[in-house]
């Protein structure tokens, strides 16, 4: 258990270091995904499978996809396809794949072990999480909703484009 924990922690640290040293954003993102996977494995080992899955679904899934979509939208054009082919060298993807493979092996080992011995993971299923969130901490869930409101209103304001209204005689800016 301890060894597995150390391995996945080391992978998390290494891949995060790789994230901040990569020059190309997509390469950095690959490592970032590995880092999330490693953290998810760590959390799983600590006995919180639900949080581990959330980490995967929300961070490695939704947020990463958003990142990648944004970058794809930014790089439109014909030459980008050639560029992408050029970028997809083995040296860019072997690192993340190797690290993820280690994590996969670890995960398979963990799953097989816990099914045979049935010791490690107890509690913390969805029901308990839901009961806690909508029981004593209900007010905090509501506050979190307002937190998101602040974020959305803010993003809407900062991202707003000024529409330019042209006229033969006068030019003015409207919002």
Partner 1 sequence: MTVSDLNALMPLTIIAVASVVIMLLIAFKLNHKIIQAICALSFIVSLVSLSNRPSYLSNSLHQLFIIDGFSIFVLALILFSGLVINVFSYIYFEEKEENPKEYYILLLLCTLGAEVLVISNHFFPLFIGLEILSIGLYVLIAYLRTRNFAIEAGIKYLMLAAFSSAFLLFGMALIYTDTGTMQFNLIADHLNKLGMPSIIFLVGFGLMLIAIGFKLALVPFHMWTADVYQGAPLPVTAFIATVSKAAMFTVLIHFFNTIGSNRFQISTLIITLIAIASMLIGNLLALNQQNLKRLLAYSSIAHLGYLLFAFLSSNKLGIEAVSFYLFAYFITTLGAFGVVTILSSKEQDADHIDNYRGLFWHSPIAAIVMTIALLSLAGIPLTAGFIGKFYILSAGIDAHLWMLAIVLVLSSVIGLFYYLRIITTMFSKGDKHIIKENLLHPAYYILSASTLLFLTICMIWFGIYPIQIILFIRSVLN
Give the nearest distance from C-beta 136 to partner 1 in angstroms: 4
Q: Are 47 and 121 in contact (CB under 8 A)?
A: yes
133 binds partner 1 (CB under 8 A): no
Give the nearest distance from C-beta 120 to partner 1 in angstroms: 19
Whole-number Å distance between alpha carbons of 13 and 16: 5
Q: Are 104 and 44 in contact (CB under 8 A)?
A: no
- DSSP state, 59? I
Q: Collapse the DSSP code of 165 into the 3-class scheme (helix H, G, I; strand E, B; otherwise coil) and give the result.
A: strand
Q: Collapse the DSSP code of 54 into the 3-class scheme (helix H, G, I; strand E, B; otherwise coil) and give the result.
A: helix
Among 139, 161, 163, 168, binds partner 1 (CB under 8 A): 139
Among 20, 76, 158, 170, binds partner 1 (CB under 8 A): 158
Nearer to partner 1, 86 or 162 (CB): 162
Structure tokens at 25: 């954003």
DSSP string for residues in 72-110: HHHT-SSHHHHHHHHH--HHHHHHHHHHHHHHHHHHHHH
153 binds partner 1 (CB under 8 A): yes
Among 3, 73, 76, 150, binds partner 1 (CB under 8 A): 150
Among 147, 165, 168, 169, binds partner 1 (CB under 8 A): 147
149 binds partner 1 (CB under 8 A): yes
146 binds partner 1 (CB under 8 A): yes
Q: Which residues of the chain form contacts with partner 1 (CB under 8 A)?
A: 135-137, 139-140, 142-144, 146-147, 149-151, 153-158, 160, 175
């Amino acid at each position: 258990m301890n060894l597995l924990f150390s391995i996945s922690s080391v992978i998390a640290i290494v891949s995060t270091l790789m994230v901040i040293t990569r020059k190309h954003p997509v390469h950095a993102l690959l490592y970032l995904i590995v880092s999330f996977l490693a953290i998810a494995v760590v959390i799983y080992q600590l006995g919180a499978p639900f949080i581990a899955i959330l980490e995967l679904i929300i961070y490695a899934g939704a947020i990463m996809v958003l990142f990648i979509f944004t970058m794809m939208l930014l790089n439109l054009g014909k030459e980008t396809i050639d560029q992408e082919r050029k970028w997809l060298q083995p040296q860019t993807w072997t690192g993340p794949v190797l690290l993820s493979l280690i994590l996969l092996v670890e995960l398979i080992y963990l799953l097989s072990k816990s099914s045979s011995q049935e010791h490690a993971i107890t509690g913390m299923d969805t029901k308990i999480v839901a009961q806690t969130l909508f029981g004593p901490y209900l007010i905090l869930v509501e506050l979190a909703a307002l937190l998101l409101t602040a974020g959305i209103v803010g993003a809407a304001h900062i991202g707003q484009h000024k529409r330019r209204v042209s006229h033969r005689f006068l030019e003015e800016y409207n919002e």
